[in-house]
Structure 1
Amino acid sequence: MSQRSLLTRALWFVVVGWWATPVVVNVAWFLCGTVVGAPLGVKLINLVPTVLTLKEPRSLDESATGRGQRSLAVRALYFVLVGWWLGWLWANVASFLAVTVVGLPLAIPMVDRLPLVTSLYRFDG
């Protein structure tokens, strides 16, 4: 899937992305705190780069690369012990940086890495 134009992504960020990202981040973490809402919370976490700048994430195909994804058990254990608090902190710092002109260049790669920081889930590109 190809990315939208830079102009489209910039306009989205200015009109929607800067304020919607912190909302989505905190709703996602609230949902992850419930058994019923956790699957939706994880999906929202993976959509944060799209909410911020309309970046289309491409999931790694495990059969096409030697790296692949870590097992679900390892990712779940990491999330329970580290990912839930580190990901929440990471996402909120990135959201704060995104609303500053100086911090925006750092915020975008931070948001892109949010699924990795939160649950060791890797995206390509």
Structure 2
Amino acid sequence: MTQRSFLVRAIWFVFVGWWLTPIVVNIAWALNVTVILAPIGIKLINLVPTVLTLQEPRSRRGPGESSVRLEAGDGTTQHSLPVRALYFVFVGWWLSFLWANLAALLAMTIIGLPVAIWLANRLPYVTSLYRFHG
């Protein structure tokens, strides 16, 4: 799928993205603190860049993610699911809450928008050490 035009993404941000992003971030965080609903929370976190600016989601690693460290599409290594789960339990859930809310706060300002987009794009990694490829 191709990226939407800058004009469409800018209009989305001005009318929807800046106020919807903090809502999605906090719903995702609330879901993440539960065991049963955490997968839905993670999916929402992965959608934060799309909610903010309609940025197309990057492709994700397939089901062959069972080895200790895997190659991501850019040649970097991917942490295993058990390592990512431990990280999430001890660090990811609270750090992603702070990280995402900082991004949402910065997104409300024109000056902070580039940093907010940078933070939002790295939110899945901050949450669970998951590296996107593609």
TM-score, normalized by length of structure 1? Answer: 0.92
Superposed CA deviations along residues 32-77 of structure 1, whole A, max 9, x for unmatched, are: 1112211101100110010000111213555755435211111111
List gaps (5 residues or longer) in structure 1: none
Q: 2:92 aligns with which of 56, 66, 83?
A: 83
Q: Which moved more, 1:59-68 or 1:2-11?
A: 59-68
- Counterpart residue type for residue 36 of structure 2: V
Partner of 1:112: 121
* Residue 82 (structure 2) pairs with residue 96 (structure 1): no
Paired-residue identity, %: 67
SS of corresponding position for 1:69? strand
Contact kept in structure 1, 2:21 and 2:48, CA below 8 Å: yes
* Residue 37 (structure 2) pairs with residue 28 (structure 1): no
List gaps (5 residues or longer) in structure 2: 62-70
- Counterpart residue type for residue 124 of structure 2: P
Contact kept in structure 1, 2:72 and 2:78, CA below 8 Å: no
Partners of 1:103 and 1:63 lie apart in 2 by: 30
Note closer, same or farther for the CA distance 1:10–1:65 as it changes in structure 2 (3 Å cut). closer
Contact kept in structure 2, 1:28 and 1:45, CA below 8 Å: yes
Note closer, same or farther for the CA distance 1:6–1:124 as it changes in structure 2 (3 Å cut). farther
Partner of 1:42: 42
- Counterpart residue type for residue 48 of structure 1: V
